[in-house]
Structure 1
Amino acid sequence: MRSLTIARREFGSFFATPIAYVYIAIFLVLSGVCTFFMGDFYARGQADLLPFFEFHPWLYLFLVPAIAMRSWAEEKKSGTIELLMTLPVSTTQTVIGKFLACWTILGLALLMTTPLWLTVNYLGSPDNGIIVAAYIGTWLMSGAFLAISQCLSAVSRSQVVAFVLSVVVCFIFVVSGSDIVIDAFKNWANNLVVDTVASFSFLTHFDAMAKGVLAASDVAYFVLVTASWLFASVIIIDENKAD
């Protein structure tokens, strides 16, 4: 319950400033550009949303760190983190509350793309079950991006530093399964090492999700990544509090 209270407080603070509105607007615009222009939505001649979903890892790579960078960095810079830590809530509850607030905004941004879904149904007869599964998959992936970004926000007092660190770490998670990286490892590593590196990639696990396949292993991967980085956030915040 206390996590939900913090989540409501954080959620309200995002809409008390232009941050949430700007994020949602940029997400919608870039999603449309990637889908219709870069994804050749009409030229493909298929009634699906694959051109929409396949760009999400790259959109989240920059947009999620941008909205998450203030989560802890701003608290530390303004000194309000000391006040926050004196409240009758645990660090875990606070971390979860902040995460839920941002994750809800990411979900809201996704929800506002449903007119595109309606457009696909107007133009053809898509498999809506696949589209629903892809929406769930992309929201799970956004949670992993968010947990990483908020954890790195707890490392620095500077939002800019937090943003840069988040982009770099998230980029590693995204490209570790790309052909360029895999080919580089194949030149000197055995198959076990190559498969291990690829298994850390968001692209590897999201590819099937974008096509509507919610495999248990892929869902578990994003849940585990999210939980691990949230746990790391708790440790970092507790260490700062001890100092």
Structure 2
Amino acid sequence: MSPTLIVARRELAGYFATPVAYVFIVIFLVLSGALTFTLGGFFARGQADLSPFFNFVPWLFLFLVPALTMRLWAEERRLGTIELLLTLPITQWQAVVGKFLAAWAFCAVALALTFPLWVTINLLGNPDNGVVLAGYAGCLMMAGAYLAIGAALSAATKNQVIAFVLAVAVCFVFAAAGSPIVTDFLSQRVPLLAETARGLSLTERFNGFARGIIALRDIVFFASFILFFLFLNAVVLDHRKAD
């Protein structure tokens, strides 16, 4: 087994060894179900699809994913175990990717547990399951982007609360960048920035998946976004190690 997968397995087991995993999953399932069936008007819409669910997932992840990543490196630094981890016969990049994959796999498990929603729409009607699958793929991409941001910021501090607050703030910037309020404001003052903000918006890219459109440019964007922040994670660790 490769060192990356060994780190990932260790981290994933660590989630389920503490109440963190169960609290995260319960909160995610309760909130996603409540928002989908109440504010999302699931039954009032008279349409068998998961659009209400996909509308809320990016904003649920905005707070829940940073809560997941705040301990990734901050806890290692606080306990002093980061030096031990980085002296093992693995590269720093393998450690970074391993921790990220564990958190991403955990988010995939949480998403998979929303299968009753999928079962419900198939019992109520005849949905386009291809669109549903694309939406779930978009959710995973969105989670991966937030996780990469949170991991990089967790490596920058020993304080988990600071890591959480910074991650929420940065994730919110990238999530809201393409919103009409932001783009209208920027287009009236600096039109070039408005286009840049729209291009960097995570929700803009996610919306394509939610509509059932899996575009290569969106996949490349998410992959590049994740790799950039994982690279930043490694750079921050290098800098901290030098300190």
Secondary structure of the 2:212 match is coil
Q: Distance in 1 between matches of 2:228 and 2:205?
A: 17
Q: Counterpart of 1:13?
A: 14
Q: Distance in 2 between matches of 1:166 and 1:48?
A: 31
Q: Distance in 2 between matches of 1:189 and 1:147?
A: 29
Provide the aligned length of Structure 1 versus Structure 2: 242
Alpha-carbon contact 1:175-1:181 (below 8 Å) kept: yes
With the length of structure 2 as denominator, give the TM-score of the two structures: 0.98
Q: Counterpart of 1:157?
A: 158
Once the 2 structures are TM-superposed, how far is the Cα of residue 159 of structure 1 from its aligned partner? 0.1
Matched, 1:81 2:58: no
Q: Counterpart of 1:111?
A: 112
Q: Counterpart of 2:225?
A: 225
Once the 2 structures are TM-superposed, how far is the Cα of residue 7 of structure 1 from its aligned partner? 0.4
Letter in 1 for 2:215: A
Q: Distance in 2 between matches of 1:148 and 1:185?
A: 24
- Is 212-221 or 152-161 further displaced after alignment? 212-221
Alpha-carbon contact 1:5-1:97 (below 8 Å) kept: yes
Q: Distance in 2 between matches of 1:63 and 1:147?
A: 14
Secondary structure of the 1:64 match is helix
Once the 2 structures are TM-superposed, how far is the Cα of residue 193 of structure 1 from its aligned partner? 2.8
Q: Counterpart of 1:37?
A: 38
Q: Distance in 2 between matches of 1:189 and 1:158?
A: 37
With the length of structure 1 as denominator, give the TM-score of the two structures: 0.98
Q: Distance in 2 between matches of 1:202 and 1:33?
A: 24
Once the 2 structures are TM-superposed, how far is the Cα of residue 237 of structure 1 from its aligned partner? 0.7
1:130-167, CA deviations, whole angstroms, 9 ceiling, x for partnerless residues?
A: 11111111101110000000100001000000000000
Once the 2 structures are TM-superposed, how far is the Cα of residue 220 of structure 1 from its aligned partner? 1.2
Q: Distance in 2 between matches of 1:30 and 1:53?
A: 13
Q: Distance in 2 between matches of 1:51 and 1:14?
A: 29
Q: Counterpart of 1:96?
A: 97
Provide runs of 4+ in structure 1 moved above 4 Å. none
RMSD: 0.8
Q: Distance in 2 between matches of 1:204 and 1:228?
A: 19
Q: Distance in 2 between matches of 1:116 and 1:42?
A: 12
